[in-house]
Structure 1
Amino acid sequence: MTELAVMGPKESEFVDRMGLYYERLGGTRTMGRMYAWLMICDPPHQSLTELAGELGVSKTAISTVARQLESGGMIERVPAPGRQHHYRIVSGGWAQVLQVRLVEVRNLVETLDLGLAVLDDSLPEQRARLEETRDFFAFSNLDGMELLKRWEEHRKNQD
């Protein structure tokens, strides 16, 4: 049986800072802490029980967060002996998150286009505000798509 790494003070500071970062992104602190620990733990896969013990939260909370991170493409369940579920980080998870966000941005652009369609041309100030917002998000979407392409090319060139 592999001996598990125990979180020391420096690792704990990193894990806690990632928890705060995730909160700022709209996630939960536990989500950030779990993802951070999975980035640095040894072995690189952990059971729900191990994660709960190391992070000092309930197994139920860890299970909920694991499902959320798994559905977001950030972690995956890996085969393990026994009935315990084990999880590890998924390569490319952040690119997946950006892809999902860009879909949301495209949906917003469609909504803003609808707003422009309902506005009368006799309302130039309102149209200008709406057009600026739509143009910003349309530009952000295109730039995000280019970023993902450049990222994939960068990753291929590193291999």
Structure 2
Amino acid sequence: MNLPEIEFVDRMGLIMERLGGTRTMGRLYAWLMVCDPPDQSLTELATELGVSKTAVSTVARQLELSGMAERVPSSTREHRYRVVAGGWAQIMRVQFAILKQSLDTLDFGLSILGDDRPGQRSRLEDTREFFAFILQDSDEMFERWKEYREKTS
């Protein structure tokens, strides 16, 4: 890795950490976006990132489960990984699905609160309304994203 790549990888590590992942996850994902060849073995990833092969293996599996990376066929027994196009969109779809489930839970919360608890009801209603607002355009947003990608690809 050259100095600009190291800086990019480290910055992405911090961003992923701020998004709730681990720094190693962000660093590994960043490296997979810029490395050549685009698929790397666990040993190569551990060497480039300066972390243990066990840590890389764990994070690579997490990225694979989230749809951001995939394991690719290899002529050796060693696992190789590469970035999956559309990984961030997949993450957002999962997050929106959780928000949809949250609406049911918030509705239940509202059903157990009587009108004699306006402060509590207000807090729940505010959260529910925000989630519902975010979700109302989510399907259209993904469709617009798909159309945008088709035009720019």
Structure 2 equivalent of residue 11 of structure 1: 5
**Of residues 119, 127, 130 in structure 2, which corresponds to 1:136?**
130
Asked if residue 53 in structure 1 is aligned to residue 31 in structure 2, the reply is: no
Structure 2 equivalent of residue 67 of structure 1: 61
- Length-normalised TM-score, structure 1: 0.91
- Length-normalised TM-score, structure 2: 0.95
The correspondence of residues 11-90 of structure 1 with structure 2, limited to 5 A, is 11-90=5-84
Deviation at 1:127, TM superposition (A): 2.2
Structure 2 equivalent of residue 4 of structure 1: none
Deviation at 1:143, TM superposition (A): 3.0
Q: Partner letter of residue 88 of structure 1?
A: R
1:36 match: secondary structure: helix
Deviation at 1:104, TM superposition (A): 1.0
Separation of aligned partners in 1, 2:120 and 2:77 = 59
Deviation at 1:13, TM superposition (A): 0.2
Q: Deviations over 1:48-100 (max 9, x none)?
A: 00000000000000000000000000000111111111110001100000000
Query: Could you say what the CA RMSD is over the residues aligned between the two structures, in angstroms?
Result: 1.2
Separation of aligned partners in 2, 1:49 and 1:19 = 19
Could you list the runs of 5+ residues in structure 1 that have no partner in the other structure? 1-6
Structure 1 equivalent of residue 143 of structure 2: 149
Structure 2 equivalent of residue 106 of structure 1: 100
Q: Partner letter of residue 141 of structure 2?
A: L
Structure 2 equivalent of residue 117 of structure 1: 111
Could you list the runs of 5+ residues in structure 2 that have no partner in the other structure? none
Deviation at 1:141, TM superposition (A): 1.6
Q: Percent identity?
A: 62
How many residue pairs were aligned?
153
